[in-house]
Chain A
Amino acid sequence: QSVLTQPPSVSGAPGQRVTISCTGSSSNIGAGYDVHWYQQLPGTAPKLLIYGNSNRPSGVPDRFSGSKSGTSASLAITGLQAEDEADYYCQSYDSSLSGSKYVFGTGTKVTVL
């Protein structure tokens, strides 16, 4: 059972901007823990896309950006491209006594129309 909530799907035409929300609580994102994002292309392993709320690893295009505020975070993709069609997951750390410590979002499927 995922602790972080994401919309199941978002879609956009090539060139458009789409955003994916990630809603947590006071024991994870709201407690100050960073949010990270992963991209999973069809049939492949997840890949780190954004770390520390808004930092891109080397090689990740700058059309991907992240932000965090309060108990939520967002991933934005500007200039949407066909190769961006994938599943996206947010991830943080949860400090509550019960449950998983490293928590993931429910995942969002991005469709390029």
Chain B
Amino acid sequence: EVQLVESGGGLVKPGGSLRLSCAASGFTFSNAWMSWVRQAPGKGLEWVGRIKSKTDGGTTDYAAPVKGRFTISRDDSKNTLYLQMNSLKTEDTAVYYCTTLIVATIRRFFDYWGQGTLVTVSS
């Protein structure tokens, strides 16, 4: 059974930093493309960024609102995905979901989702 368990959320002041983790199990993590998706309170879903598997280059890509502030990384030896968030803004307040990402030419979707971790940016 695929499991994605996020941790690391909490309350942080504007301008601060936070690192989220996502522990994966039930599939071959090293072969998977992974992504982060967030949801502000009462709002819709927003893609944050993704990281390819190391076999596919291990490169990252980010949504415009977080580019230059957020960094996605992975430790395949620990089956863990990370999201380093710097220079946090109040508008970054959201539940952050870790997901697997399937990419095959025209077919690109989020297969499995974690339960999410809440990040609150407030003074």
- Measured CB to CB, the residues of A under 8 A from B are 2, 32-34, 36, 38, 44-48, 51-52, 89, 91-93, 98-107
Contacts and interface: CB of A to CB of B under 8 A. Distances in A.
B61 A107 contact: no
Contacts of A92: 108
Interface of B: 35, 37, 44-47, 50, 61, 63-64, 97, 102, 106-116
A46 to B, nearest CB: 6
B9 to A, nearest CB: 14
B97 A102 contact: no
A101 B61 contact: yes
B34 to A, nearest CB: 13
A51 B64 contact: no
A37 B109 CA distance: 9
Nearest first, the 7 A-B pairs at minimum CB distance are: A102-B47, A36-B109, A104-B45, A107-B44, A93-B108, A45-B113, A34-B107
Classify the interface of chain B: helix, strand, loop or mixed.
strand
A51 B104 CA distance: 12
A104 B97 contact: no
Contacts of B107: 33-34, 51-52
A100 B45 CA distance: 12
A2 B39 CA distance: 12
Of B61, B110, B115, chain A has the most CB atoms within 10 Å of the CB of B110
B108 to A, nearest CB: 5
Given A38-B45, A46-B45, A89-B45, A98 B110 contact: no
